Amino acid sequence: MIIRSAEFVTSAVKPSQYPPGVLPEIAFAGRSNVGKSSLINTLVNRKRLVKTSGTPGRTQLVNFFEVNGTYSLVDLPGYGYAKVPLAVKKTWGPMIETYLSNRETLAGVVLIMDIRRMPRHEEFDFIAWLKQYHIPGILVLTKTDKLSRTRQLRQREAVAGALGVDVEDLILFSAQTRKGREAVWAAVAGVAGT
């Protein structure tokens, strides 16, 4: 995917602050520190378009970006960060669910998981939400560079089994080696119908 432009559009906490839905939109979700910012930056060939906040999860914002005038990309707040105050944790679910259920231009959600960790209830809940709202999910296992090729394949099989999906439905990715970048873009184009 050739990137001609990639720009920050706006941040929002509620639907009235979302930008007008014009372009097909792809949202990115994952546990805090999973490598979500790195993945988006790799996709758009920018070092710091998406900034990693020093204290993950403190600001619960939905951030909107525009790529090539073709796609809207949305960085959803990360979940599962232990040090986030309870009050903030409690707003995460409703905020995400509000976004998923209200955004008519939402074409799909990229759910990012660390290849070294088995999915937990947050991932199962997220996938259940996507099913409930009939939103296509793109499942990505990142930080693959941390494992040998053999262990990547073994872990991919284990995660596929746990999630009840086909092995081929899990895209192997690394922000370090850029492995899987084209595969993620292909999946994005697939769900966006572009």
Contact residues for ligand GDP, defined by CB under 6 A: 30, 32-38, 52, 56, 78, 142-143, 145-146, 174-176
Residue whose C-beta lies closest to ligand GDP: 35
| Angstrom distance (rounded) from CA 77 to CA 184 | 20
Whose tokens are 């074409």? That residue is: 107
Q: Decide whether 32 or 152 has the Cβ nearer to ligand GDP.
A: 32
Shortest distance, position 37 Cβ to ligand GDP, whole Å:
3
Q: Decide whether 35 or 119 has the Cβ nearer to ligand GDP.
A: 35
| Angstrom distance (rounded) from CA 137 to CA 76 | 14
Q: Decide whether 33 or 68 has the Cβ nearer to ligand GDP.
A: 33
Shortest distance, position 29 Cβ to ligand GDP, whole Å:
10
Shortest distance, position 193 Cβ to ligand GDP, whole Å:
27
Q: Decide whether 63 or 72 has the Cβ nearer to ligand GDP.
A: 63
Q: Decide whether 24 or 56 has the Cβ nearer to ligand GDP.
A: 56
Shortest distance, position 22 Cβ to ligand GDP, whole Å:
26
Shortest distance, position 140 Cβ to ligand GDP, whole Å:
10
Q: What is the CA radius of gyration of the chain?
A: 16
